[in-house]
Amino acid sequence: MPYPDEIALVLGRELGLDGTGRLLDVGCGPGSLTLVLADLFDEVVGMDADAGMIEEARRRAEHLGCGNTRWVLGRAESLSPAYGAFRLVTLAQSFHWMERSRVAALLFSLLIPGGAVVHVGATTHRGSTGGTALPGPTPPRDRIDELVKSYLGPVRRAGRGYLHVGTPSDEDEVFASAGFAGPRRRNVGGGQLFARSEDQVVASVYSLSSASPHLFAGQLDTFESDLRALLREVSPTGEFWERSGDVSLSIWEKPSDSA
């Protein structure tokens, strides 16, 4: 599901963004957040380690007529002064996959004094729980999780490895140790309703590192057949509904007197 346009309004107000300067979106994926923020800067740079993501981001930018975007294939750990200076860096659902202390230090060095890093917390592959009734059935996420486990085992996969104790959650210490001040935290409300097709729900499952298609190897076709059978059991029409959840913004600033 898309990031809400309200993110641009909140960050523009909090950081005084006025259409100047440069944005770096690290781990940009298909440009989901990059393109929401593009109008706030002279230039935006999206970086991702997956060539398919970069190709899709470039396609979406061309479709939307965003001519101030540049897309870079690479890992955050490869950042250097050659990329130039930035007014804002965003990390949306990506920082926990990086060598965080190293990347935080690199980002600090690339920001102009008074610039900021925004760590974005969100769940966009699925909807929030609770709230009022929806117009139709929701994807059976708990049952989907159990189906994935029946193929890949009980320990969550992560790329080529495993997450035995979950993803790290000490980002505050990492950013503070790198010299950033903060954070200021802001929440952007969710609650928007989205109709989702069977194909979109299947894609949302594959979008997770814990259920990437390559993990299923020779069982991929059988898994997808089982997944689609489960979805059709819940919604014979193939239509599902979900409500977007809140997005959290943690704003870390580089002090104005920093070199």
130 pLDDT exceeds 70? no
**Mean pLDDT for the chain?**
90
164 pLDDT exceeds 60? no
- pLDDT value of position 86: 98
The arrangement of secondary structure in 6-126+165-190+243-253, i.e. its CATH architecture, is 3-Layer(aba) Sandwich (3.40)
Contact (CB, 8 A) for 90 and 38: no
160 pLDDT exceeds 70? no
Residue with tokens 């991702």: 48
Q: What is the mean pLDDT of residues 75-95?
A: 92
Q: What is the mean pLDDT of residues 46-52?
A: 92
145-153 — which CB contacts under 8 Å span 24+ positions? Answer: 147/223, 147/226, 147/227, 147/230, 148/205, 148/210, 148/211, 148/223, 151/216, 151/219, 151/223, 152/210, 152/211, 152/215, 152/216
Share of the chain above pLDDT 70, in %: 93
232 pLDDT exceeds 70? yes
149 pLDDT exceeds 60? yes
- pLDDT value of position 83: 95
Least confident range from 4-8, 17-21, 166-170: namely 166-170
Q: Which ranges in the chain are annotated with CATH 3.40.50.150?
A: 6-126+165-190+243-253
Q: What is the mean pLDDT of residues 73-100?
A: 91
- pLDDT value of position 202: 96
More confident residue, 46 or 2: 46
